[in-house]
Amino acid sequence: MRLTVALLLALAFAAPAVAQNAAPKGDAVAGDTKNSMCEGCHGVTGYRTAYPDVYQVPKIGGQSPAYIVKALEAYKSGERSHPSMQGIARSLSAQDMADFAAYYGGAK
């Protein structure tokens, strides 16, 4: 009986801590208002940019929000290497990433 009570108490105190560490819920409207730094490459016709050289840019509209967040986290940590994306991702909070993911995940 004591073990059961101890386990229930441990779970009761652990649940709020787990909830605090959960990923933030993305807001597509907020993502749209923060989008200016993304549109310069990911919003251009043909998904090509010309700086510093002409290269293809991934189309992120319609991608899975979870994939977008994971990619941004990988750029932020240095796991993915692209100088522009690393610089941008390092400036983003977890909420920013969730907002961009909600915006682009719902885009066509």
Residue 30 has pLDDT above 90, yes or no: yes
Give the global pTM: 0.73
Does 66 score more than 90 pLDDT? yes
Rounded to an integer, the average pLDDT of 58-79 is 95
Write phi, then psi, for 14 (nearest 5 degrees): -80, -30
For range 87-106, the mean pLDDT: 96
Cα–Cα distance, 72 to 46 (Å, whole number): 22
Identify the pLDDT of residue 55.
76
* 95 CB burial (10 A radius; 0-12, 13-18, 19+): middle
Fold classification of 24-105 (topology level): Cytochrome Bc1 Complex; Chain D, domain 2 (1.10.760)
